[in-house]
Structure 1
Amino acid sequence: MPALKPRTVLLSLVAMASLNAMAYAGVERAELDLIIQQIRAINQIAQRADQSSNSTARYRFDYPKFRHDLQRIEAGLQDYLSPRRAQPVDPTELIGDYAAEPARESPP
């Protein structure tokens, strides 16, 4: 059996690593697509919950802020899956505080 040249071995290893990376990228894309679908479902649930929430309660969940953050997360995932540049960069932070107090009526 002839000895393999180091260059042949190296090229074979690189080719196998590339195939493995491409397979992983396909799995990652499928997982991120699933996350996007779940975010959309959560957004719809939050919209329904917002419509049926008690707006006069002392403390209530701030659904508009929450839904805005969900939309930003989805947009970030979409940017990652379809990049316009090398890496998506989003310097703004999520709101994160979803407790809201009802608006107080101003005195006449």
Structure 2
Amino acid sequence: MHPARSPWVVTFFLLAVSGVAGADTPVQRQDLVAAQRQLEAVERLVERTSASATVVPGERYHFDYPRLLADLARVRVGIEHFLSPARAQPRESTELSDHYRIEPKPAPRPEDKS
């Protein structure tokens, strides 16, 4: 898959998972187990894509794969906690970062000698 398409896969996955969040049935459990498998596949895809991605010197932006992988891990852990709760009360969730664009820091300019 082309590296530029991988965010679309993640978006599709997150939309699919959000669609099962409203139900509280055995079907929901099956759907969430299937979502876990899909999430693992997306994580492998993102890892593979990040390994082959190159940062071009002087490029203004590049995709922040480590941050995306951290957010995917949070989603996976949330599903795991739902499927095997350690306690009766739901935990407070952390927000996803939603900022995957990294801008390089400007190169230091030589000081003007006047």
- The verdict on a shared fold, with TM-score over 0.5 as the criterion, is yes
User: 5+ residue gaps in structure 2?
Assistant: 1-23, 110-114
Greater CA drift, 49-58 or 37-46: 49-58
* Higher-Rg member (1/2): 1
> 2:11 aligns to what?
none
1:63-98 residue CA offsets vs partner (Å, 9 max, x unmatched): 100010000000000000000111331342111111
Moved over 4 A (4+): 103-107
Equivalent AA in structure 1 for residue 67 of structure 2: K
> 2:72 aligns to what?
70
> 1:101 aligns to what?
103
**C-alpha distance in 2 between matches for 1:39 and 1:61:** 19
1:76-91 equivalent positions in 2, closer than 5 A: 76-91=78-93
> 2:112 aligns to what?
none
Superposition RMSD on alpha carbons, in Å? Answer: 2.1
Q: What is the aligned length?
A: 85
Q: Percent identity?
A: 36
1:51-72 residue CA offsets vs partner (Å, 9 max, x unmatched): 1112123211111000100000
> 1:44 aligns to what?
44
Pairwise CA distance, 1:103 = 5.7
Pairwise CA distance, 1:104 = 5.8
User: 5+ residue gaps in structure 1?
Assistant: 1-23
> 2:54 aligns to what?
54
> 2:19 aligns to what?
none
**C-alpha distance in 2 between matches for 1:44 and 1:50:** 10
**TM-aligned CA distance change 1:44 to 1:106, over 3 Å:** farther
**C-alpha distance in 2 between matches for 1:53 and 1:82:** 36
